[in-house]
């Protein structure tokens, strides 16, 4: 099944008060396996950037000034998303901004029945535990060391790994096969590398004729053997 894991960055918390989406990142997964296909875009919000929001994602009004408007990229985004279910962390927030932007373009809203909220899933699986993306990455051993600030595509890539674990998929770090090929970009595969050093040739394990003869003699001398 094809699903899209996505995240957004915005100018604030509520599109009803004029806040706008400024970044979106989408990661395609099929049968809980990342395909390597992604969609990422920045948008000019046509307004200022509050200092509090900029502190979270680092996107300034100056940086976004020459970026395209959402309406100019909406068709490409919708084409990438298609009719797949949409996975997000605290998904109501991201759906709210996505549909607000679509409304400004007079485009049909994404149906809420397509929403999959990883916070809701995590709450059922880990009641009472911390449910932030950082906390879930720590729980499942997912490396987030490169996450200095929030970024839509980076967060979507991390969330895709978390979502797979929440659904009971791959166990991070427990694959037993040695790494034969380098994973493709955006493919989240945890592998164990073959140990360094010289490779020892396999030793023969079959018994030779002398050993078999000694074994037969030993067995013949056993008293009251169950198989006798």
**Residues with a known catalytic role:** 150
- The four Cα atoms 30, 156, 11, 63 give a dihedral, to 10 degrees, of -110
CA distance 96 to 189: 32
Q: How far is CA 97 from CA 108, 128, 212, in A?
A: 13, 28, 76
Q: How far is CA 169 from CA 102, 207, 215, 216, in A?
A: 33, 42, 47, 49
What tokens were used for 177? 């096969």
CA distance 162 to 143: 11
Q: What angle do CA 86, 88, 94 make, to 5 degrees?
A: 95
Q: Up-side HSE of residue 94: CA atoms within 13 Å toward CB?
A: 25
């Amino acid at each position: 099944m094809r699903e899209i894991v996505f995240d957004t960055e915005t100018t604030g918390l509520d599109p009803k008060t004029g806040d706008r989406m400024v970044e979106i990142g989408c990661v395609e997964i099929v049968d809980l396996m990342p395909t390597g296909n992604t969609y990422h875009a920045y948008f000019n919000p046509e307004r200022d950037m509050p200092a509090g929001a900029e502190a979270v994602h680092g996107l300034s009004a100056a940086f976004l000034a020459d970026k395209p408007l959402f309406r100019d990229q909406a068709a490409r985004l919708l084409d990438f998303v298609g009719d797949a279910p949409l996975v997000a962390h605290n998904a109501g927030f991201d759906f709210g901004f996505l549909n607000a932007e679509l409304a400004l373009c007079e485009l049909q809203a994404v149906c809420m029945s397509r929403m999959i909220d990883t916070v809701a899933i995590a709450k059922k699986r880990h009641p009472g535990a911390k449910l932030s993306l950082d906390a879930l990455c720590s729980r499942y051993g997912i490396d987030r060391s490169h996450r200095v600030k929030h970024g839509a595509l980076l967060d979507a890539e991390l969330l895709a790994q978390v979502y797979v674990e929440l659904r009971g998929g791959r166990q991070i770090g427990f694959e037993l096969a040695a790494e034969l090929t380098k994973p493709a970009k955006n493919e989240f595969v945890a592998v164990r590398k073959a140990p360094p050093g010289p490779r020892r040739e396999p030793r023969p394990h079959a018994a030779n004729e002398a050993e078999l003869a000694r074994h037969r003699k030993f067995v013949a001398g056993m008293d009251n053997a169950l198989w006798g």
